[in-house]
Amino acid sequence: MGAVPAGPRPYVLLSCATSIDGYIDDATGQRLLLSNADDLARVDAVRAGCDAILVGAGTVRR
């Protein structure tokens, strides 16, 4: 992820990991790990500074 934009304009930060064949999940109930521990820690730190996090309907239902 790049630097946070400077200035008064609002912005949206999108973070999405995909597999080499373009998937973000699979059909199993298990979490599909696409990142290593260091990357997951970095993403958690970025999320902590966000005002909102958008998740899918399936995530909410689970």
- Residue-wise pLDDT tens digits, 4-53: 666 677 788 887 778 888 887 777 778 777 788 998 898 889 889 888 88
Q: What is the pLDDT of residue 26?
A: 76
Looking at residue 58, its pLDDT comes to 79
pTM of the predicted protein model: 0.54
Radius of gyration of the chain (CA): 14
Q: Please report where in the chains the tokens 């958690």 appear, as a residue.
A: 44
Residue 56 has pLDDT above 60, yes or no: yes
Task: Give the DSSP letter of residue 24.
Answer: S
Residue written as token pair 């990357």: 39
